[in-house]
Structure 1
Amino acid sequence: MTSLQKEAVVSAVAIEDETSAAFKRRFMIRMILVLTGGTFLDGYILGIVGPVAGKMTAELGISVVWEGLIAAGALFGILFGSPLGGWAGDKFGRKPLFMLDIGLFVIASVMQFFTNSPLELFVVRLLMGVAIGAEYSVGWPMLSEFSPARHRGRLMGLTLIAWYAGFMFAFVVGYLLNQHTDLGWRNILGTSTFIAVALFLGRLGMPESPRWLWSKGRTEQARSVARRYMGSASDLADIEREVVHSGGGFRKLFSRQYWRSTLFVSLFFFCVVTPYFAIATFADSVLQKFGLGGGLAGGVGLSAVALAGSVATVLLIDKAGRRVLTVPPQWIITVLLVILGLWTDAPGMAVLGLFLAFSFFNAGCGTLTCIYPGEVFPTEIRGVGTGFAAAFSRIGAGLGTFLMPWAMSNLGPSVTILIAAGIAAVGAGVSQWLAPETKGKSLSETASGFSH
């Protein structure tokens, strides 16, 4: 065999390997890891604040107002980063933003080591939030656009499992490092840098979304990427069936075709995350206000039960469907919070049980907040739609986190929890009205079916 023939054989084997089922499976595993890693990182930076809040307050002389601002800084950053990242992702592609947001996060995470005032710390965490916001509006659409329809709910749901895991892991790491080492609070906050660098390296060489390429008229390139990386023939065919509409951007979100999609995902997202962020970020102090001991067990307990709720939803989502895991849990959450708010002399164990049940059901339906946005918007506004919903939700999450210390001190735990119950009731009502069933449907079906 000549050298040219040998080279041809090697080339053919390489091409076959790069289109084989094993190659596509390895790619999907990598895709899931680097995307769930982004939400793990988000949970981590939010969860790491609680255990070091005392040291930060003592060293920097942080007031109650600054405590709330620093805790909510990343949430306010998401408020700006999500819609901006979604717009840019729809316009310039998922891949460039995919790398840019994690690069910004690496830089901002390193800056935590050098903060010397409440203002500096707030600004750094604001930048981190901008990066995470862009991650939501690019990462979730990208995963939905690569995922097989029959497994899309489960794969998308993994991102929220990663968020709760990141939050809980950060709380444990922060607590242990704070209690059992001499590391300062800056170093503890800066541990997020190691995760960010690993994700940046893991994302090098990832492909562009074939659906985005198709939406821009780059059909041959879209077919090439889809054939190489996507394993389902039906999903490959669905890309070519997708109808690409002209225009895009924020205006289209409120058009006659898509206003219901925008209204549903935004209010649903807002009403699910607002009570959780407020309660979970200050889990230690909230439990103490209700007469329970704080420390590691309380904070980790809420996050661990939340993680279990998210896992349960992910296991059921592609069999039971979306609506049954969206609407009933929100009504249950509302009832649990009303009981907590009205039962002022409840025994400690009853209070703890109610809080744990709240965490479980809130996380269960909250898993749908990272699934629905990627399904109910068409490709040309999937990024900006996801970004807008995430940003709108962070208005509530940021305000809840910022106002929680003030509300607990000035309104009392009972009134504070009843306000949270009212927010949960609004979410339940909106979901009862508008939540679609998208189980097993292709992306072109889910987007067109909810646009009329």
Structure 2
Amino acid sequence: MSSTKNRADHRSVTSAVNKRRFLTRMVTVLIGGMILDGYVLGIIGPVSGTMAEDLQLTAFWQGVIAAAALVGILIGSPIGGWAADKFGRKPIFMFDIGLFAIASGLQFFIDSPVLLVVVRLLMGIAIGTEYAVGWPLMAEFSPAHLRGRLMAAMGIAWYGGFMIAFLTGHLLNEYTDLSWNFILGTSTFIAIVIFLARLGLPESPRWLWSVGRKDEARALAARYLPDDALDDVQHEDVRKGSFGMLFSKEYWRSTLFISGFWFCAVTPYFAIATFADSVLNQYGLAGGLAGGVGLSAVALAGVVVTFLLIEKIGRRALTVPPQWLCAVVLAVIGLWAGAPAIIVLILFLVFSFFNAGYNTLTNVYPGEVLPTEIRGIGTGFAAAVSRVGAGIGTFLLPISMENLGAGPTMLMAAGVAFVGAALSQWLAPETKGKSLTEAAAGYAH
């Protein structure tokens, strides 16, 4: 009897160790995808001058090239989410990193603006697809008590990738004779490593269960998921998902919340962060800490603080109050025309810190508040809506600053933040500690 018990205990310990190792691997490759996304968007900045000169880019082509990745994300997010729900997480998971590696490799051979636009478009499609499948996968494999923190870590990874790319690009551009093509193409090496690391990863047991492949789901859940997750998987419905379900009586609130919240969170952020120096210059501030470097560093700190607190104080406390605060901060900046420069700087830094904090929740909520059969398409749809907001903010801010001035422009940004705060006050659920089945049932019952 003792020998049998010892063998059972040994198997239990071995199983727990294997599950931890698997979770570490899964988290690493998902975070790697976010690092790569940030890297791709960050690496182009340091070489943009050399690239524009070499390709003799006009202002038109510079604008098209900048927009190409955004258009790609708009395409890739909803289509990738639909495909992940229909065909499974695993094939789309491998497809997007494969597309990423191929498109990135093409950067070594760019010799025209047209090819650069095509490559950036393809990379945007891959990024959008990664958003739509990566966050649902992280949600579906994470233990309930760690899910928020692990999904928030993907936000840290994005900022980390962007900063690594900017530093790498600057050093290679300044201190080596490498071409701008090669510097852009360095993302290929990261993509290949991540592609190889993803080989052999399993399909999501939750997706298998949702399409009726119950025996496969049970086997994989027993092997890879936490012990309490199998029971939760078996509580999920077996039904076919569709785009229309996002707007059904059960889920329209979830769709409205994740899409509207994400839109209102990123619209002022992208506008202010993209034109940080020119915005602050209107207030007599420019360069150094007062520019994009300072705002980015403070934003990263906001993401890290959210990562540390999300499983302690919950989602809603990190979502609702910070949005009201940022709305008020932007309104003060807009209304206080004669504010001292140091006060304006402090207010912008406060906005950057708290906005980045609740922006982290835009990565967390979509994977939690929708059921498995529409988790991919819902995340993809919300990501696409958010990119529309990013594009609107980035496009309109310089026009508004020039024609209306800084004050009215900041008041419009404050208005967007107020809408996001009111929407979240109404609809933001508390999902801390809940299983995915419980979290996704929040509005449905």
> Normalized against structure 2, the TM-score is what?
0.91
Partner Cα separation in structure 2 for residue 184 and residue 444 of structure 1: 51
CA offset digits 1:269-305 (Å, max 9, x no partner): 1111122222223434444454334369833322221
Aligned to 1:421: 414
2:156 matches 1:161: yes
Q: Distance in 2 between matches of 1:201 and 1:315?
A: 31
Residue in structure 1 matched with residue 330 of structure 2 by the alignment: 337
Following the alignment from structure 2 to structure 1, what is the Cα–Cα distance between the partners of residues 339 and 142? Answer: 46
Contact 2:290 2:345 in 1 (8 A): no
What is the rounded CA distance, in whole Å, between the counterparts of 1:110 and 1:411 in structure 2? 43
| Aligned equivalent of 1:241 | 235
CA distance 1:372–1:187, change in 2 (3 Å): same
CA distance in 2, matches of 1:96, 1:109: 20
2:4 paired residue number: none
Q: Give the AA of the match of 2:417.
A: A
Per-residue deviation, residues 201-226 of structure 1 (Å, max 9, x unmatched): 11111110000111111111111111
Q: Quote the residue 1:363 is aligned against.
A: 356
Corresponding residue SS for 1:113: helix
Q: How far off its partner does 1:427 sit? A: 1.0
Post-superposition CA distance 1:243-274 (Å, at most 9, x none): 23x33121111111111110000010111112
Once the two structures are overlaid, the 10-residue window that deviates more, 103-112 or 69-78, is 69-78
What secondary structure sits across from 2:392 in the alignment?
Answer: helix
Counterpart residue number, 1:278: 271
Q: What code does the residue aligned with 2:230 have? A: L
Tell me the amino acid that sits aligned with residue 38 of structure 2: G
- Is 1:173 the counterpart of 2:162? The answer is no
Query: Aligned to 1:151, which of 120, 126, 146?
Result: 146
Which of the numbers 48, 51, 75 marks the counterpart of 2:70?
75
Superposed CA RMSD in Å reads 2.4
Shift of 1:164: 1.6
CA distance in 2, matches of 1:153, 1:26: 19
Alignment partner of 2:168: what SS?
Answer: helix
Name 1:214's counterpart in structure 2: 209
What do the CA deviations read for 1:62-104 (whole angstroms, capped 9, x no partner)?
4445434323322221111011011110111100000000010
Instruction: Provide the C-alpha distance between the structure 2 equivalents of 1:191 and 1:411, rounded to a whole number of angstroms.
Output: 41
Native 8 Å contact 1:167 1:303 kept in 2: no
Closer, same or farther: CA 342–191 of 1 in aligned 2, 3 Å: farther
The amino acid that maps onto 2:257 is F
Residue 401 in structure 1 maps to residue 394 in structure 2: yes
Structure 1 distance, partners of 2:154, 2:275, is: 23
CA shift for structure 1 position 110? 1.7
1:324 equivalent in alignment to 2:342:
no
> Which consecutive unaligned segments of at least 5 residues does structure 1 have?
1-11
Q: Alpha-carbon deviation of 1:340?
A: 2.8
How many residue pairs are counted as aligned between the two chains?
Answer: 438
Distance (whole Å) between structure 2 residues aligned to residue 119 and residue 67 of structure 1: 11
Cα distance between partner residues in 2 of 1:176 and 1:144: 37
Whole-angstrom distance in 1 between the partners of 2:165 and 2:307 = 22
Give 2:32's match in structure 1, choosing from 2, 12, 37.
37
For residues 63 and 397 of structure 2, what CA distance do their matches in structure 1 show?
Answer: 8
Contact 2:236 2:437 in 1 (8 A): yes
Write the distance in 1 (CA, Å) between the matches of 2:104 and 2:166. Answer: 17
Q: Distance in 2 between matches of 1:112 and 1:285?
A: 30
Match of 1:315 among 308, 313, 320: 308
Deviation at 1:407, TM superposition (A): 4.2
In 2, distance between residues paired with 1:404 and 1:189? 28
**How far is 1:168 from its partner?**
2.3
What residue is the counterpart of 1:445 in the other structure? 438
Is structure 2 residue 372 aligned with structure 1 residue 379? yes
Find the residue that maps to 2:249 and give its secondary structure. Answer: coil
Q: Residues 181 and 163 of structure 1: is their aligned pair in 2 closer, same or farther, counting only changes over 3 Å?
A: same
- What letter is aligned with 2:247? F
Unaligned segments of structure 2, at least 5 residues: 1-6
CA contact (8 A) 1:19 1:228 kept: no
| Partner residue, 2:135 | 140
Shift of 1:402: 3.8
Say whether the 8 Å CA contact 1:172–1:300 is kept in structure 2: no
Query: Shift of the alpha carbon at 1:156?
Result: 1.0
SS of match in other structure, 1:371: helix
Q: Which amino acid aligns with 2:184?
A: L
Kept in 2: contact 1:76–1:395 (CA 8 A): no
1:22 aligns with 2:49: no
C-alpha deviation, 1:409, in angstroms: 4.3
The one-letter amino acid of 2:364's match is: I
Residues 391-447 of structure 1 show CA distances to partners (whole Å, capped at 9, x for unaligned) of 111111123334444444444444433332222121111111111111111111111
Distance, in Å, in 2 between the alignment partners of 1:369 and 1:354 is 23
Residues 364-415 of structure 1: per-residue CA shift (max 9 Å, x gap): 1011111110111011111111111011111111233344444444444444
CA contact (8 A) 1:291 1:348 kept: yes
